[in-house]
Amino acid sequence: MERTQLTTGTRLLNFTMGLISIFLIVWVLSIGQVIIVPFLVALFLAFILDPIVQLFVRFKMPNILAVLITLILAFVILYLLGLLVYANVQNFVDQFPKYQARMLESLDNFMKQMTHILNQQKYQIYLDRKTWSQIDWISAIKNLDIAKSLLNSVGSFLTFLFKTVIVIIFLAYFLMGKRNIETKVRLAFDHAQAEQILSILNSVTTQVQKYLGAKTLVSIVLGGISIIIMLLFGLDFAVFWGFLIFLFNYVPNIGS
């Protein structure tokens, strides 16, 4: 009996501690997202940009200079991408009334067709004409404040620059620290263990870099082709949509 009570108490304690741990993890991630997100972005970029640093080093360039040039390139690219996103979002916000008018026109035509369908006796078993007529679709579209929502989600450009600087700082740490890993591992372990650890690290790094390199190349090609096709069809914001296609191609369940 006592053992059963002890087991039940232990399970309850473990369950409570688990809930507290989950709450703390979510809280820390929520509070620290300003640091965690740039950290993960910098780690991702480090795998992609490290081969560039290695290329500079092969040409007898000092490691510090190679990392510095790579960081400057990364900052310029991120800055230009930020300008692209903000310019397109602002342009979309400015032109949203025009798109809203098109949406209202399309919705009006759709409602006329639905009203015609609802007036046919054979479809009334599937569609409730009274319920449909009570929905004020036009007002719903007019009340959409997509422009404000977009601006709030994107934030200010100064915030973007702040996050970019944090990414660059983390990226510098990763790129500079990678050159010292081999020395630190050899000092911390004996020769056999050090060689085994370094072999595993090099193998994992190489495989990740090959995957990200191939994924990046495919994303660039896919984004470029998409931009060309959208420009040929006269689609607005073709470069912006191509950039989004480039980004979403990294998502396993969405990208190619």
Which has more confidence, 103 or 81? 81
For residue 199, pLDDT over 80 is answered with: yes
Say yes or no: 53 and 114 in one domain. Answer: yes
Say yes or no: 107 and 221 in one domain. Answer: no
Q: Domain range holding 54?
A: 39-178
Res 153: pLDDT: 53
Dist CA 139 CA 153 (whole Å): 24
Dist CA 251 CA 244 (whole Å): 11
**Would you place residue 150 in the very low, low, confident or very high pLDDT band (cuts 50, 70, 90)?**
low
Which has more confidence, 56 or 19? 56
Average per-residue pLDDT for the chain: 75
Residue 184 within any structural domain of the chain: no
Q: What is the pLDDT of residues 20-40, one digit of tens each?
A: 777 777 776 677 677 787 888
Q: What is the pLDDT of residues 45-84, one digit of tens each?
A: 888 888 888 888 888 888 888 889 989 988 888 888 878 8
Say yes or no: 62 and 173 in one domain. Answer: yes
The residue from 146, 178, 210 where one domain ends is 178
Q: Which two tokens stand for residue 105?
A: 């026109």
Say yes or no: 26 and 138 in one domain. Answer: no
Q: Which two tokens stand for residue 9?
A: 């108490």
171 CB neighbour count, 10 Å cutoff: 26
Dist CA 35 CA 115 (whole Å): 53
For residue 132, pLDDT over 70 is answered with: no
Residue count (the chain): 256
Q: Which of 83, 79, 84, 55 is nearest to 69 (CA)?
A: 55
Residue 183 within any structural domain of the chain: no
